[in-house]
Each structure stands twice: as C-alpha cells, then as structure tokens.
Amino acid sequence: MASTTIKFALFSTLTIFSLQTVVSVTPLPFQHPLDPLNKEEYLIVQKIVLHKYPKVAFHYIGLDDPEKDVILKWESFKPNVITVPRKAFVIAIINSKSHEILIDLRLKNIVYDTIYTGNGFPTLSVDEQSVAIELPFKYSPFIASVKKRGLNISEVVCSTFSVGWFGEEKSNRTARLDCFMKESTVNIYVRPISGIAIVVDLELMKIVEYHDRNIETVPTSDNTEYQLSKQSPPFGPKQHSLASHQPQGPGFQINGYSVSWANWKFHIGFDVRAGVIISLASTYDLEKHKFRRVLYKGYISELFVPYQDPSDEFYYKTFFDAGEFGFGLSTVSLIPNRDCPPNAQFIDTYIHSADGTPIPLKNVVCVFEQYNSIMWRHTETGIPNQFIEESRTEVNLIVRSVVTVGNYDNVIDWEFKASGSIKPAIALSGILEVKGTNIKHKDETKEDLHGTLVSENTIGIYHDHFYIYYLDLDIDGTHNSFEKTSLKTVRISDGSSKRKSYWTTETQIAKTESDAKISIGLAPGELAIVNPNKKTAIGNEVGYRLIPAIPAHPLLVEDDYPQIRGAFTNYNVWVTPYNRIEKWAGGLFVDQSHGDDTLAIWTKKNRDIVNKDIVLWHVVGIHHVPAQEDFPIMPLLSTAFELRPTNFFDRNPVLKTLSPRDVVACPK
Ligand SMILES: *[C@@H]1O[C@H](CO)[C@@H](O)[C@H](O)[C@H]1NC(C)=O
Ligand SMILES: *[C@@H]1O[C@H](CO)[C@@H](O)[C@H](O)[C@H]1NC(C)=O
Ligand SMILES: [Cu+2]
C-alpha cells in the first residue's frame, strides 16, 4: 500500500509517451466480447457522461461484462462479435455524490444512472491524490512542523493513504497524508516524518484535521538506495546469463487479448480495479478431441493489508488495495528482459484518468514460456537385462503483471501447465512500510515496537497481505458441485489385520454456502469442484482440485472494524452460487466501507450450491514479520496455489507430450 508519488510519476511518463508516439499507436479494435474497453469506447463514455453533467470525476470505468450464457453462446457459435452487447459501467462522483451509470456503447446512451446512498466511497482517483499531496506545502502548521524538526521543506514529499473505518456513523470522503524525505535517496518510504497526522477532505480538497503529536527521528538515507547507479563495489553474488532463446519461435499465439498455447486457450482481460482477468480458459483433450471448460473467470477480487501498530499515526492503515487504489490503475509497465524473459511478448491496454480521458498503458502484461522442471519421469531397474529411463521436461506458460501500490510491488502470475493445472502465484517485493523511532538498537527498549527494528531508527511494522481470488470454475460445463474429502484414521480392533490402523477417505458434497466455508488447518483433506453430470469412462466424477496456498488466518478479533470490512478473510475457502454482481469480496464501495457488502454478508443467505453454477473464492495470505533482509528493498516473497485436474482426464494427459529437445531431434 499506497501512495501517489510513484503513480503520479508514472502518469507523467505516460503522458510524455503518448505525445511522442501518438502517430504509431493504432488502437486495437475489440475482437472479443471480454476485451477491455478501447480508446474509442472510453471516449464515448466520457462524451456521454459529460453531455449530461458539466463536472464529473470518473472513479471507475470498465467493461460491464455480458451475461455468461451470452458469452458462452458467442464462444460456441462464433457469431459476429457485433451480436453481443457492449456496455460500460461507470462510477463517478458528481456534486459530491457517487453515481453508478451504465452506458450502452453501441446505442451510445445511458441505460441507468443511480445515486449510491450506502456506506463507503469509490476507488480514489490518481488525479485527486496528486492534488491532495500538494496541500501540506501551503499549510502553515505543516511548514512549522517541518521547520521544528530541522528538515528542509524542499526535500519533503507526501503520499495519500486511505483512512479506513472505525465505527463512525457518517463520514466525509477523506484521505490521510504521510510525508517523507527525498533528500539523498529515492527510497522515500524508509524516511518517514513520523508523528504528524494530516487528514484531507477530498471533496473540499483541503486539510480538515491536523496534529503533530511527537517528534521521532527521521531515519538517515545511509544504505537506503536501491538504484544500481548509486551502488558501489563489491557487486555480487554473481549470476550467469541463461539462454531463453527459442529457435522454433514461441509456442503460443496472442491474437488481440486471446491466447492459445499447447492444450490451452484463454482470454486476458484488464480492468482498472481488478487488473488482469483470465477468462474462458479451456483445455484441449487429445482423446476426446475437444476443448473442455475449466475456468470461466479468475482474478484477484481484493487485497487486504492491515498494519498492526495501534498508535495514532498508524492504526488506520488497514488498506484494501484493489477497491481503494485499483489494481488496474496501479499496474505498472513491465521492464523487458528484467520483469519478463527475452522470449516474452507484451500486451498493451488503456486505463483512464479522473476526467475520463483514456491513457495508454504499455507492456501491462507479458506472456512467456518457461522451462520449469520435470513433467514426469521414471527409471526402471527392476527388469533383468533392461535399463529403462524416461523423463519429460515441463514447459509452462506464464501470464505476468506487476501491481505497484505505493511502496509494495505485487508480482501476479497465472501459470498454465500442459498437464491441465493452473497455478496462480503472488510474489511481493518493494519497500516496507516503516515508522521512524528514536531507537537505534534493540536493547534500548523492552516495549512492543509493533514491528521489527530493520535499521537504526526504523521499525518495519507487522502486517498481513490477504489476497482473495475469485475463481469461477466451470468444470466441463457450468453446473458444478463442491466436494470436501476428509482423510480419516480407522482403528482395526477385530484382529482382521496385522495392522492396527489405516486411513481412508470420506467425501461430503457441500449443500449450501455454510458447508463450503473452510478454515484450512491441520486436518488433512481434499477440496474439489466437480461436475456431477460428467463422469470418466470408469465412473469417477470429473473435477479440479484446489491445492491451497499455505493457509493464513486473520489474527484481529472478529468485531474489530478492519476485520468487519475484511471479513472475507475469516475463511480460506468459500463457495457461492454465481451472481453477476458479487464481484468484489470487500464490497463495491470499499473506501471507508462498513463491511455491509462483503462475501461474509452475501453468504449469510446460505444459498444452495449443489449442481449449480458456482464460484470458488480462495484467500491467499502472508503474515509479514519484517526482517532486516527486507531492508532497504525486499527480495521476492512468494506464495502460490494450484487448480489441478482430478479425474478430469481419463489418464495422464501429458503421457505423449514430447520434451522440447526431442522435438528438435525428431526428423520430419
Ligand atoms: C533545501 O533543498 C533544496 C532542494 O534540494 C536546496 O536547493 C536547498 O539548498 C536546501 N536548503 C537548505 C537550507 O539546505
Ligand atoms: C463533513 O463535512 C462538513 C463540511 O463539509 C462538516 O460540517 C461535517 O461536520 C463533516 N462531518 C464529519 C463527520 O466530519
Ligand atoms: Cu509485507
């Protein structure tokens, strides 16, 4: 989480980029009904809304995805794309009121325009944050605070932070500002000016609350630089180059936003709130000679990052990065040959500014093949006079994007395997959120620092990262069930065996949403989405298993305000019946939300989920106790889970897959 300084810089670069390359950028016409809005479509939205209202702040503009049956019909019969509705959903602030507006992009009219009167506010816009961060420099109490600390105001930069919700009945749309020193280092986040609270009313665009509680040392800039140009020898440890040359060319094709590779085809969407969206992932079954559906739609629905310092200047830091700052708005351009290997291909898209203007975003996604590991192998030594060894190399396809919300960088990968697995992975890097302290050595205090002393005068505050994935699996069709299989020990007491025990399985079909709320713990078990209407030739239900990430459970008490808002972390797994409007696990209006529109609330209806179109939600969490190695910038910390076919194929689907080397050696 979360600031504007970096995003502001990003936008400036983009503006320059668009001016320089305006001639060569040909907007990609949409070819697929799930393609993100293109430049022309953003302009239509802007024109229509500005025609009705003179002053509008656009906080969200995105594709209003057509109904699933329409998409599936389109995919099966491949009619002209024009037959599918094309609409944009808009959240805008007009006269300080949140509007939800639906626009028909073909008819070029407003389908509905309603005022939202519930709790919570839209995603903060980058533009308003850019204005807010300049306010302290014209605010005399702040100038005095800086002077009092002996700091140079010309070397101060500020960032915006969402304020959270702490039980207030009513609140105005506000943000907090934290300020940092940029002098002698670009690593601003590790040089906070601690002890000051600044609250900005985003509608009035002025500072409405200010206090300077105490002065803590601003950590020095020594050893905080991460730019290569600022480092001095010795360099190391040494890394040798790896060949990622593909003499036969890439094994995948990208057509617009549609990708095909090996036995997979899928679509990559992009949304200013969700970031990358994987849709319509189907795998080709060599024996059945057809594509079979696996994942209708998958994306990260929310990221909850609660910090664990209850003091006046930190308690409010309980961020919802997707809903408050926008994963898509915070997606950065990937760096070729660094973020992605030389064999990667890149996809560009558009996002929008607060006045509705489309902004090109280059290299927002990269797609590449990666030699990973062994696909399968065996050495057979058990047959006299024969020596058998067989091994197949695994090549995977990775779809990567990077979401940088202020200080943190989230590397978001979707990995596809020829064996039928999909492996979503998250990796964190970037800068810790730290607090200044007068303490230089751990022995100086016995107090709870609410974090780790990661450098002199610098506390890396404890926090969590809880990602919740929306996974609308459609295993071989839309109607699926959720099965929980427990592995249980059976004691043998009748003397029927020399053994005293064994384990076996017991499978239960989750009937309703309550049956499907799962806290993954010590009890061994298997979780699977199955299609009860489709069986293998020998009678097993076809399915996909969830091999979960290392489980992380919330540690805040259930009635604490941030936890009410982030109640979707109460379980690691949830299953809901498909509902087109249940997209955001923390709610549609998350900024300052009261937690009344979360997954935890929707599932109270306890709806039926047997043999229905269902959605699996998986929480991937990291409890982060910072360490000195995370300073001044942290090496990648990663976690992943796997959606793995289970009795989906009749046998190993990669039995006859050739390793790349075999393909080269094989004479045509
Ligand atoms: C304050 O910082 C500015 C900008 O870096 C610099 O030009 C100026 O000399 C500094 N003033 C003092 C008193 O150090
Ligand atoms: C909201 O702002 C108005 C002024 O615009 C102020 O009168 C009111 O007290 C504020 N409400 C809260 C809860 O801060
Ligand atoms: Cu962290």
DSSP string, 118-178: SS-BPPPPHHHHHHHTTGGGG-HHHHHHHHHTT--GGGEEEEEEE---SS-SS---EEEEE
- CA 325 / ligand 2 centre spacing (Å): 24
pTM: predicted TM-score of the whole model, two decimal places: 0.94
**pLDDT, position 481:** 98
Beta bridge pairs of residue 642: 547
**pLDDT, position 664:** 52
* Nearest atom in ligand 1 to 152's CA: 1
- Tokens 């907007």: give the residue: 27
Cβ atoms of residues 614 and 577 within 8 Å: yes
Residues, Cβ < 5 Å to ion ligand 3: 624
pLDDT tens readout for residues 215-253: 889 999 999 999 999 999 999 999 988 766 788 889 999
Distance CA 458, CA 193 (A): 11
Sign, CA torsion 246/247/253/254: positive
Architecture of domain 31-115 in this structure: Roll (3.10)
Residue type for position 112: Y
- CA 217 / ligand 3 centre spacing (Å): 23
**Class of the domain covering 3-16+243-643:** mainly beta
Cβ atoms of residues 580 and 574 within 8 Å: no
Residues with pLDDT less than 70, the chain? 1-30, 79-82, 243-244, 661-668
User: Which of 467, 516, 472, 412 is closest to 619 using CA atoms?
Assistant: 467
**pLDDT, position 27:** 40
Question: Is residue 155 within 6 Å of ligand 1 at its C-beta?
Answer: yes
Mutate to test the pocket of ligand 1, among 146, 155, 186 (most ligand atoms within 8 A of CB): 155
H or E element at residue 12? helix 5-20
pLDDT tens readout for residues 31-76: 899 999 999 999 999 999 999 999 999 999 999 999 999 999 999 8
pLDDT tens readout for residues 257-269: 999 999 999 999 9
User: Which of 540, 553, 561, 511 is closest to 651 using CA atoms?
Assistant: 540
Considering only CA atoms, which residue is closest to atom 10 of ligand 2? 172
Considering only CA atoms, which residue is closest to atom 6 of ligand 2? 172
Cβ atoms of residues 332 and 213 within 8 Å: no
**pLDDT, position 648:** 98
Distance CA 350, CA 328 (A): 10
Which residues are near ligand 2 (CB < 6 Å)?
170-172, 204
**pLDDT, position 637:** 96
Q: Which residues contact 183 (CB under 8 A, 6 or more apart)?
A: 152, 155, 221
Distance CA 324, CA 326 (A): 6
| Ligand number with the minimum distance to the CA of 155 | 1
Distance CA 637, CA 620 (A): 13
- CA 169 / ligand 2 centre spacing (Å): 12
Cβ atoms of residues 38 and 30 within 8 Å: yes
* Nearest atom in ligand 1 to 155's CA: 2
Q: In the 8-state DSSP scheme, what is residue 234? A: P
| Ligand number with the minimum distance to the CA of 154 | 1
The residue extents of the domains of the chain are: 3-16+243-643, 31-115, 126-223
- Tokens 């407003």: give the residue: 110
Q: Which residues contact 599 (CB under 8 A, 6 or more apart)?
A: 468, 567, 568, 574, 576, 582, 585, 586, 617
Cβ-based neighbour number of residue 478 at 10 Å: 18
Same fold, 31-115 and 126-223: yes
Mutate to test the pocket of ligand 2, among 96, 165, 170, 172 (most ligand atoms within 8 A of CB): 172
- CA 413 / ligand 3 centre spacing (Å): 18
**pLDDT, position 31:** 85
Catalytic center residues: 321, 408
H or E element at residue 198? strand 196-201
Distance CA 331, CA 461 (A): 25
Question: Is residue 147 within 6 Å of ligand 1 at its C-beta?
Answer: no
Considering only CA atoms, which residue is closest to atom 13 of ligand 2? 171
Q: Is 196 helix (H, G, I), strand (E, B) or coil?
A: strand
Considering only CA atoms, which residue is closest to atom 14 of ligand 1? 152
Question: Is residue 154 within 6 Å of ligand 1 at its C-beta?
Answer: yes
Distance CA 301, CA 468 (A): 6
349-353 long-range Cβ contacts below 8 angstroms, 24+ apart: 349/36, 349/270, 350/36, 350/37, 350/38, 350/39, 350/42, 351/272, 352/42, 352/46, 352/58, 352/61, 352/272, 353/11, 353/58, 353/125, 353/126, 353/127
Cβ-based neighbour number of residue 512 at 10 Å: 16
Considering only CA atoms, which residue is closest to atom 7 of ligand 2? 172
- CA 272 / ligand 2 centre spacing (Å): 30
- CA 470 / ligand 3 centre spacing (Å): 22
Task: Determine the Cα angle at 91 with ends 96 and 404, to 5°.
Answer: 105
Distance CA 264, CA 293 (A): 10
Report how many helices (DSSP H) and strands (DSSP E) the chain contains, helices first. Answer: 8, 32
Considering only CA atoms, which residue is closest to atom 3 of ligand 1? 154
Average pLDDT of the chain to the nearest whole number: 93
Q: What's the topology of domain 126-223?
A: Nuclear Transport Factor 2; Chain: A, (3.10.450)
Left if phi > 0, otherwise alpha if psi is -120 to 50, otherwise beta: which for 208? Answer: alpha
